[in-house]
Amino acid sequence: MKSFNTGMRVGKIGRRASAFPFGDVLELDPCQEDEVAIVDVGGGRGQSLETIREDWPLLKGRFVLQDLPDVIKDAEAKGVPEFIETCPLSFFDKQPVSGARIYYFRRIFHCWTNEKSRQILENTKAAMDEYSRVLIADMVLPDINCPRDLAMQDLNMMSLGGMERSESDWRRLLESAGLSLRKVWLNEDGPKHAVLEAVLPGFKGHRLG
């Protein structure tokens, strides 16, 4: 478990959290101090939440880190910043945090089949309100003319029981769970480090981009 957690940490050091403008969105749809701004689902030791806070230090609201009990125990043993609340949880269980502005999944869904991924999303959808967003930081393959290195990554994930997905694949998966794909945010690395923004059909939050 410790080796896995360390491996998941690689790639988060020295990078902004993602292409998504957390600060702009949470300024337009602000939280009160006692409301949950971000739930990092399957977030390991909380590195993404730390990076988001470093990039946007004035964000209000609570930051919640969720992962399996052993992972949370390891994170707490190594020291979790005071602004992060920990919540031991399997993402295959009911999401206990309702009405968060953002439910953030980084490098999660490519490890799982569509059936398992739909279960995770349905658990999340049940906790969302009309201002909530699901953010998925993962690879987005081109629908056609996929580069060889990205196609090889898909084959690698298939051997582990997961898969990489194109934008069309992501859209179908999200819609099967009752969510709408609002936007795909790309950074300078293109499809390798994209963020998919999904919302409920009756979404009332601000729409950036």
Report the catalytic residues. 110
Residue type, 106: R
CB 33 within 8 A of CB 55: no
47-60 CB burial, b ≥16 within 10 A, e <16: bbbbbbbeebeebe
Residue 145 CB-density burial (10 A; 0-12 exposed, 13-18 middle, 19+ buried): exposed
Measured CA angle at 200 (ends 197, 205), to 5 deg: 70
The sheet that has 133-138: what strands, in order across it? 84-88, 62-67, 36-41, 102-106, 133-138, 190-199, 180-187
Amino acid type, 46: G
Work out the burial of residue 88: count CB atoms within 10 Å of its CB; fewer than 13 is exposed, 13-18 middle, 19 or more buried: middle
